[in-house]
């Protein structure tokens, strides 16, 4: 099977951009999260319509109107921070575990792999304009706890502010006994019979019924974990299986949570 051409290669092949233009756009792109097509449009190399037309024809991907295609059932399929990171929007679920995904750049293999890794679904790319996707993200994708704890788009100061905002929200919205306690090994939050441990860009939650959740990003993994377990033994087995995906600090901290916290608070 022939290797799929990336956006820059397509534009050069179709004589819509010069190699020098692509190289300059790539240099501008380094260190940021702007998509290559967006940069080329802002540089005046191509128009928005040219980008849409060439991608649709070359990649055999349909151009869609988000308002006509969006299904509310998928609004929680991908957290807002991932939608913003890749300028994508979940559109609808299809048969055979397929997720229709509106994208500015359907040739972005990294975005597709990351979204598939997060959702566990097969991505079917669809083409939409950048401004339409951005507006739809704000209108349709809810802000969730995963956005608060996401290490990719928040600086240290912003994360502290987000944590404070989350605490205030919990105090206002929940009348049960609660507190947030900062310990040597990260942050421990207790709300009723649920406990949440956070450190090193990872979060472990345990509910009163014993269900355990792992959220966050392994230092050497692609994508983000969102996994549930029925016991601390299952979490331990997962940790050993994925050992190479975690840094030493993450691995030691997760073992500390399992050995000193989860086992001590098992449901009776």
Segment 38-57, tens digit of pLDDT = 889 889 999 888 888 888 88
pLDDT band of residue 156 (cuts 50, 70, 90) is low
Angle (CA) 154 158 161, round 5°: 140
**8 Å CB contact between 169 and 148:** no
229: which strand partners?
212
All residues at 6 or more sequence positions from 154 whose CB lies less than 8 Å from its CB, including other chains = 162
Angle (CA) 228 264 235, round 5°: 25
Whether 53 and 5 map to the same domain: the answer is yes
Closest of 126, 108, 168, 146 to residue 224, by C-alpha: 146
For residues 232 and 173, the model is more confident at 232
Whether 227 and 152 map to the same domain: the answer is yes
- pLDDT score recorded for residue 18: 93
Q: Which of 90, 109, 142 is the last residue of a domain?
A: 142
pLDDT band of residue 179 (cuts 50, 70, 90) is very low
Whether 78 and 113 map to the same domain: the answer is yes
Count of CB atoms within 10 A of residue 172's CB? Answer: 8
Whether 162 and 247 map to the same domain: the answer is yes
State pLDDT tens for residues 216-226.
888 887 777 88
- pLDDT score recorded for residue 177: 40
* Residue 121 clears pLDDT 90, i.e. is over it: yes
pLDDT band of residue 130 (cuts 50, 70, 90) is confident
Q: Which of 107, 142, 177 is the last residue of a domain?
A: 142
Domain that holds residue 10: 1-58
Count of CB atoms within 10 A of residue 267's CB? Answer: 10
* Residue 93 clears pLDDT 90, i.e. is over it: yes
* Residue 267 clears pLDDT 80, i.e. is over it: no
221: which strand partners?
none
124: which strand partners?
100
């Amino acid at each position: 099977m022939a290797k799929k051409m990336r956006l820059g290669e397509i534009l050069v092949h179709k004589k819509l951009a010069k190699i020098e233009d692509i190289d300059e756009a790539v240099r501008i792109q380094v260190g940021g999260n702007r998509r290559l097509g967006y940069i080329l449009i802002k540089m005046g190399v191509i128009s928005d319509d040219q980008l849409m037309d060439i991608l649709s024809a070359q990649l055999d991907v349909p151009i869609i109107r988000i308002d006509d295609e969006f299904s509310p059932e998928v609004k929680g399929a991908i957290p807002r921070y991932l939608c913003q990171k890749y300028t994508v929007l979940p559109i609808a679920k299809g048969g055979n575990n397929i997720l229709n995904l509106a994208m500015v750049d359907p040739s972005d293999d990294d975005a597709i792999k990351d979204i598939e890794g997060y959702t566990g679904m097969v991505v079917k790319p669809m083409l939409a304009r950048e401004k339409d996707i951005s507006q739809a993200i704000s209108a349709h994708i809810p802000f969730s706890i995963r956005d608060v704890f996401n290490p990719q788009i928040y600086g240290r100061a912003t994360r502290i502010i987000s944590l404070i905002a989350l605490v205030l929200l919990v105090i206002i919205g929940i009348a049960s006994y609660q507190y947030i306690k900062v310990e040597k090994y990260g942050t421990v939050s207790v709300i009723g019979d649920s406990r949440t441990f956070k450190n090193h860009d990872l979060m472990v939650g345990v509910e009163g019924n014993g269900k355990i959740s792992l959220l966050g990003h392994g230092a050497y993994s692609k994508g983000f974990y969102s996994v549930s377990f029925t016991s601390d033994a299952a979490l331990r087995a997962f940790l050993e299986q994925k050992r190479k995906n975690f840094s030493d600090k993450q691995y030691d901290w997760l073992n500390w949570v399992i050995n000193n916290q989860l086992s001590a608070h098992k449901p009776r």
